[in-house]
Amino acid sequence: MIPTEILAPFSGAIVGLVLGLVGGGGSILAVPLLIYVVGIGSTHMALGTSAMAVALTAIANLVPHWRAGKIKWPCAAVFSVTGIIGAFAGSSIAKIVEGDSLLLLFGLLMLIVGLAMLFGQNGEGDPEIRLTSKTASALLPRLIPAGFGVGALSGFFGIGGGFLIVPGLIFATGMPLSFAIGTSLVAVAAFGATTAANYAISGLVDWPIAGMFIAGGAVGGVAGAMIGKLLGKNRHALRYVFAGVVMVVGLWIVWQGLAAAGML
């Protein structure tokens, strides 16, 4: 039997590699890997541990986007603050949902993520958009509910939610995709940390596994970025392959969940 000390960093490396190659959406694999590869028996423990790993990974990836000037900080602040409230509410509800039901819903979410990756956002938008006293009346009515809603979903499923945050920011502000990706990392870190803290209060974060998973993710992320540069434009084709993998895994989880519920 392969020890956890190998399986946890290996699983983290897979997530990091995928993130380095295809970008947002890669962390959706964290929960299935923690349950079916690492062997965490509790769905709730896997969600809490995944949220911690996602939060720390987002913080690490935030720096290069910050240096490149691709973060709209005022927009990020409003979206994140309202989303933190949503993430706490969502994760609180998830903790009282039965584990098998939660995993079944997670499988359905994976199907949605896969479809969203197939029909991604384009790069158009207004790079000069700013949240100021003059634009607040137009931006805040969209930023606040979008932040809360995305935060609630992120907290409920224990994921970063970048695949939801990016289109949410574009919808609320009209900023270009490149800015939305950088800005989304602030919210991913905030939502993940909130969710992880809520689970940690209930003892539902496996800290040693989270540490090993994150360490593996860092190595995989560097490898993914290097491979991505070598592949150049061809790396975009990998996004469609990965979307297919996500949907297949999602279907398998849904099938398992329905079978466990005696519906098949």
- Using one digit for the tens of pLDDT, what is the confidence trace for 165-214? 888 888 889 888 788 888 988 998 899 899 999 999 999 999 999 999 98
**Contacts with 32 (C-beta within 8 Å, 6 or more apart), sequence order:** 110, 249, 253
| pLDDT score of 75 more than 90 | yes
**Angle between helix 4-22 and helix 43-67 axes, rounded to 10 deg:** 40
pLDDT digits (tens, 9 = 90+) for 131-153: 999 999 999 999 999 999 999 98
pTM here? Answer: 0.83
pLDDT of residue 219: 87
**How many domains does one find in the chain?**
1
Q: For residue 25, which phi and psi values (nearest 5 degrees)?
A: 105, -20
More confident residue, 198 or 227: 198
pLDDT of residue 226: 80
Which two three-digit tokens encode residue 232? 């150049």
Domain holding 249, by residue range, is 4-260
Q: State how far the Cα of 160 lies from the Cα of 151, in Å rounded to an integer.
A: 9
